Amino acid sequence: ANMLCKVRQMRSCASILNQTVSWKVGSRQKHTLPDLTYDYGALEPHICAEIMQLHHSKHHATYVNNLNVTEEKYQEALAKGDVTAQVTLQPALKFNGGGHINHTIFWTNLSPNGGGEPQGELMEAIKRDFGSFQKMQEKLSAATVAVQGSGWGWLGYDKESGRLRVAACANQDPLQGTTGLIPLLGIDVWEHAYYLQYKNVRPDYVKAIWNVVNWENVSERLQIAKK
Ligand SMILES: [Fe+2]
């Protein structure tokens, strides 16, 4: 009788544990669209309100929704031990996960009080690694304008060498996940980021975006990246 009691206890304990585990998986936090700290029209005349509104509330929101759907499917595949399904889901994870990561950085990289030049350690690092602020600007602009099709230009931090680097990524490939560089400043050159205002003239959009770069945010990112 004592043994039976122990088995029952163990079963009830296992069932509680099971419930806890499934509750934890079920309540896994969904990704959410981050709020902007400025109005959609605040970056005008450099980026118009209509672009900002569509870009944030439609495009970024879609990456967030599809990331949540993909993660749910991925959890199911993991639970079933279905490696084929996991591999099949990886492109969607990269695309929507990258889209969410990239845009989340992008909004904070911009500010209605932005523009000008950075100060302090970031400026010193730019001068050391590119020669001057203007040279960095030219190099990042050129790499960004040259992205074939949709993608991003980045100023990133290479933790191994302790240096800043310019890089370009295709599609929504996230900088750190695909190159190892830590993202500091991203320029979105998907047509959804500029076409309504700049039409086919991507270089004009890239030129204008420097007027709203939030250098304080880029500096903070460098500080965190160096830790
Ligand atoms: Fe975008």
Beta-carbon contacts of residue 138 (< 8 Å; ≥ 6 apart): none
192: nearest Cα among 77, 48, 73: 48
Residues 192-220, mean pLDDT to the nearest whole number: 98
Ion ligand 1, residues whose Cβ is below 5 A away: 188, 190, 193
Distance from C-alpha of 90 to C-alpha of 74, rounded to nearest angstrom: 9
> Is the distance from CB of 111 to CB of 47 less than 8 angstroms?
no
pLDDT, average across residues 51-74: 98
CA-CA distance, 70 to 86, in Å (whole number)? 10
pLDDT score for 49: 98
The CA 124 to ligand 1 mean position distance, Å, reads 30
Quick one: average pLDDT of 184-200?
98
Q: How far is the CA of 59 from the centre of ligand 1 (A)?
A: 7
103 is in an annotated binding site: yes
End-to-end Cα distance, the chain: 60
Decide if 51 contacts 188 (C-beta within 8 A). no
Confidence band, pLDDT 50/70/90 cuts, at residue 172:
very high
- Note the pLDDT of residue 2: 52
**Mean per-residue pLDDT for 84-111?**
98
The string of pLDDT tens digits covering residues 65-97 is 999 999 999 999 999 999 999 999 999 999 999
Binding site annotation covers 100? no
